Amino acid sequence: MTIRECRNETREILTTAGNDEADVITDILLSHFLGIDRGSLLAALDMNAPDGLPFLMAEAVNMLSAGVPVQYILGSCWFYGLEVQVGHGCFIPRADTEILAKAAIALLKDGQSFIELCAGSGCVSMAIAENVKGVRGTAAELSLKALKYTEANLEKYTNVKVKRADVLDPDDLCALAEEWGEGYDLLVCNPPYIPTADIAGLEPQVQYEPETALDGGENGLKYYRYIIANADLIMKPSHRILFEVGIGQAEAVSQMLSVMGYAVAVFKDLGGIDRVVLGEK
């Protein structure tokens, strides 16, 4: 079997199964298993496929059919130009979250500090550490399954500490405040924000991701409410908070911040949806 034949067979199976991105996913998987980029893949289509390639592709197709996200099969994805390790139990970074990272990078200056709550893979902390020199940060995550990815992704960034913490526990928040001996200048957070009742209706690939990274309580606002109410436990007197929010949540989160004395601004994503809310004291 040639690589081309393996490619055509995989595309046909995925297309028949109703996968709208069969062509793209097939080439991503082939490039991954062959250890080459797509340009090299196209040049090698008429070469004989390595002995194990058809098996690896068939196994990947079976996993995709079971709802496993392609990022979990690959073991990584890309975020803000950085390769981020992900796997079972770790929320997969979304392109919309790059708006959150971009805002954080623009706000932070050399010598300042930040804390990322509900860090998951640590992708936002990675983007900050990579693009803002001289900052100090802490990435906090509760899930042990996710934490191993947080640690792996931030291992090379010695200016960012990784801590296990429950952001809904005031004792954990107080402990986080002591990591650098003072409060933080910026709090950045992409919390679980999907209303509990909506989770069952999500696409299978999303449901395969950890529910703890999705479930934002009855109306999706549980984490925002608690973090805003307790931010002073970990922040400097003058500080900023950046949240990613779900569709239709920006107004409610903005109001929560305003009530607590914050000046508020809202940023849209590439689709024109209010995606990031900034609070400033």
Per-10-residue mean pLDDT of the chain, 281 residues long, equals 96 91 95 94 95 95 92 95 95 95 97 97 98 96 96 97 95 90 94 83 72 80 95 95 96 97 96 96 95
Task: Specify whether 141 is located in the same domain as 259.
Answer: yes
Total of domains in the chain: 2
124 and 252 in a single domain? The answer is: yes
Q: Within this chain, do residues 96 and 60 fall inside the same structural domain, yes or no?
A: no
Residues 41 and 99 in one domain: no
pLDDT for 181: 82
Tell me which residue has tokens 């100090």. Answer: 136
Largest CA distance in the chain: 66
Range of the domain at 54: 3-66
> Which residues lie closer than 8 Å to 141 by C-beta, 6 or more apart?
118, 119, 120, 122, 147, 150, 162, 163, 164, 165
Helix (H) or strand (E) holding 77: strand 76-79
Instruction: Mark whether 149 and 276 lie in a shared domain.
Output: yes
Q: Does any domain span residue 75?
A: no
- Do 115 and 208 reside in the same domain of the chain? yes
> pLDDT value at position 207?
67
- For residue 215, what pLDDT is reported? 73
Tell me: do 152 and 253 sit in the same domain. yes
Question: What pLDDT, on the 0 to 100 scale, is given for residue 204?
Answer: 67
Is 84 domain-assigned?
no
Quote the pLDDT of residue 203: 76
Residue 72 lies in a domain: no
Q: Are residues 213 and 106 in the same domain?
A: yes
Domain membership flag for residue 76: no
Asked if residue 161 and residue 61 are part of one domain, the reply reads no
Identify the helix (H) or strand (E) that includes residue 102.
helix 97-107
pTM above 0.85, yes or no: yes
pLDDT at 196: 84
Question: What is the chain's Cα-based Rg?
Answer: 21
